[in-house]
């Protein structure tokens, strides 16, 4: 396993959950944390500990966003009217890299960020290479013609590990996707239980 892969899956083991539902996750074999003390009996976690874990899990799921990026997204969610936890999920799913991952253009959230940064997609016909670019309902994301035969694109499209959620509408033989609506927590196909309400408690305490 490469250094990058082991670092990525370390998050699975720290959380004790298979965050992305991948078959290669070490959590499928070992249910304990990483390191020499990983098998120690776990102590009861405080409310703050539960809130912190919820934040780290959600932040980690989106290719381990930086604290600054994640906090900025939370601040935007808190500023808007309505349920902050649900709004936070909607904003995270509106990220261009998240949509590229959900549409199965690439196999992992990390690959999605790189795919966008390297200029392989367009939004409404215009090149966008900012992973955090926020999409709106009706926006169309498309894989550039010259990028459609890339191995990771073909691998992702053929994978049976996940399906494209119904708030996205595929087109052009699976190489374009339109944002149909803003998803709520219940709509998002997280492989593990996410608790954005605890994230709200973490930042507002």
Q: What is the pLDDT of residue 28?
A: 46
Residue with tokens 């549409």: 103
User: How many whole angstroms separate alpha carbon 71 and alpha carbon 12?
Assistant: 22
pLDDT for 186 beyond 70: yes
Instruction: Provide CB contacts within 8 A for 84, sequence distance 6+.
Output: 74, 77, 78, 200
Quick one: pLDDT band at residue 161, thresholds 50, 70, 90?
confident
Q: What angle do CA 165, 15, 70 make, to 5 degrees?
A: 60
Largest CA distance in the chain: 54
Best-predicted range by mean pLDDT (59-63, 74-78, 172-176):
74-78
In the chain, what percentage of residues exceed pLDDT 70?
Answer: 79
Residue with tokens 């980690």: 60
Instruction: Provide CB contacts within 8 A for 197, sequence distance 6+.
Output: 85
User: How many whole angstroms separate alpha carbon 7 and alpha carbon 5?
Assistant: 5
Domains by residue range for the chain, with CATH: 3-33+44-92+189-204 (1.10.1050.10), 95-181 (3.10.290.10)
Span 138-154, average pLDDT: 96
Question: How many C-beta neighbours within 10 Å does residue 133 have?
Answer: 17
User: How many whole angstroms separate alpha carbon 119 and alpha carbon 5?
Assistant: 23
Whole-model pTM? 0.83
Q: What is the pLDDT of residue 97?
A: 98
Angle between helices 47-61 and 67-79 (to 10 degrees): 100
């Amino acid at each position: 396993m490469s250094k990058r892969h082991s670092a990525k899956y370390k998050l699975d083991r720290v959380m004790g959950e298979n965050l992305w539902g991948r078959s290669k996750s070490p959590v499928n074999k070992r249910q304990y944390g990483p390191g020499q003390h990983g098998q120690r009996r776990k102590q009861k976690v405080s409310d703050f500990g539960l809130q912190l874990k919820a934040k780290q899990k959600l932040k980690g799921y989106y290719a381990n966003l930086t604290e600054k990026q994640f906090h900025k997204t939370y601040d935007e969610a808190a500023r808007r009217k309505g349920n902050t936890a649900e709004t936070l999920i909607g904003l995270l799913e509106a990220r261009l890299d998240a949509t590229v991952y959900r549409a199965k253009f690439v196999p992992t959230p990390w690959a999605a960020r790189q795919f966008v940064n390297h200029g392989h997609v367009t939004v409404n016909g215009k090149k966008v290479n900012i992973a955090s670019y926020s999409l709106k309902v009706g926006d169309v994301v498309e894989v550039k013609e010259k990028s459609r035969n890339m191995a990771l694109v073909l691998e992702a499209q053929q994978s049976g590990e996940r399906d494209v959620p119904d708030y996205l509408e595929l087109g052009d033989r699976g190489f374009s996707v339109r944002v149909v609506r803003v998803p709520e927590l219940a709509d998002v196909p997280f492989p593990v239980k996410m608790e954005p309400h605890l994230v709200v408690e973490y930042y507002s305490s």
